[in-house]
Amino acid sequence: MTVNLEVAEGVGTLRLDRPPMNALDVATQDRLKELAEEATRREDVRAVVIYGGEKVFAAGADIKEMQAMDHTAMVLRARALQDAFTAVARIPKPVVAAVTGYALGGGCELALCADYRIAGENAKLGQPEILLGLIPGAGGTQRLPRLIGPSKAKDLIFTGRMVKADEALALGLVDRVVPASEVYEQAHAWAARLAQGPALALRAAKEAVDAGLETDIDTGLTVERNWFAGLFATEDRERGMRSFVEEGPGKAKFL
């Protein structure tokens, strides 16, 4: 399989496994969607790590496969391509991308689908589609400017240039830079900590933030208000508040 889902301690690792560069061909895209939807459904998966291995995250689309596709073929495929990445972005649980080596084109777009990005010192990220006479087609023109702002996103998209980990951190494209050998360990630790948290509240927080980014402030506040009030009906809220009153802050156990 080109993508695998491995589950341990409440953390599901979506592991890309298509050597040597984890090129995201059609089969890999479809498998990614299938496993993202599985991670969404599974109750034993409470947080997710996206990982490409020690050497490379994903170097982008399979260019040879794309070269053979004409306009009609891509019209028929483009929605499925976006749907695969959207399935990752809509996992209603904390998702962290563990980025080593190249994360280019579709690889960068996949990292953008995560809630948090930890990059190795050897990471190189970018949207080089313009160098092929194309634009990003798996969400890059939409998620990248929402993350780092339109002018910075346009610079990367217009030039197709790669950025190293330190510049990616300065741009806000990644959230933490660590030695390459520690990327997965730290990403898993981030996910494992959240896997111990209140699942419904984490889902609510993610959906409120994401929905709010897509709408006006008043609608966003309505989404927040509804989730906030709704959580008062949950066992996790009862447990968290009871623990706070009886034991002090930060000691509640949600599993």
Average pLDDT over residues 152-175: 98
User: pLDDT category, 36, cuts 50, 70, 90?
Assistant: very high
Q: Are 117 and 51 within 8 A, CB to CB?
A: no
Catalytic residue flag (residue 54): no
Find, among 50, 57, 123, 45, the residue nearest to 88 by Cα: 50
The pLDDT mean for the chain works out to 97
Average pLDDT over residues 8-15: 97
Average pLDDT over residues 76-96: 97
Q: Where are the beta strands (DSSP E) in the chain?
A: 3-8, 11-16, 47-51, 95-99, 102-104, 116-120, 124-126, 162-164, 176-178
Q: What percent of the chain lies above the pLDDT cut of 90? A: 97
202-241, pLDDT tens digit by residue? Answer: 999 999 999 999 999 999 999 999 999 999 999 999 999 9
> Of 9, 34, 65, 109, which one is the catalytic site residue?
109
Average pLDDT over residues 150-166: 98
Cα–Cα dist 189/193, whole Å: 6
Find, among 96, 87, 99, the residue nearest to 47 by Cα: 96
Find, among 196, 204, 199, the residue nearest to 229 by Cα: 204
Catalytic residue flag (residue 129): yes
pLDDT of residue 1: 86
pLDDT of residue 255: 82
> Of 65, 129, 207, 214, which one is the catalytic site residue?
129
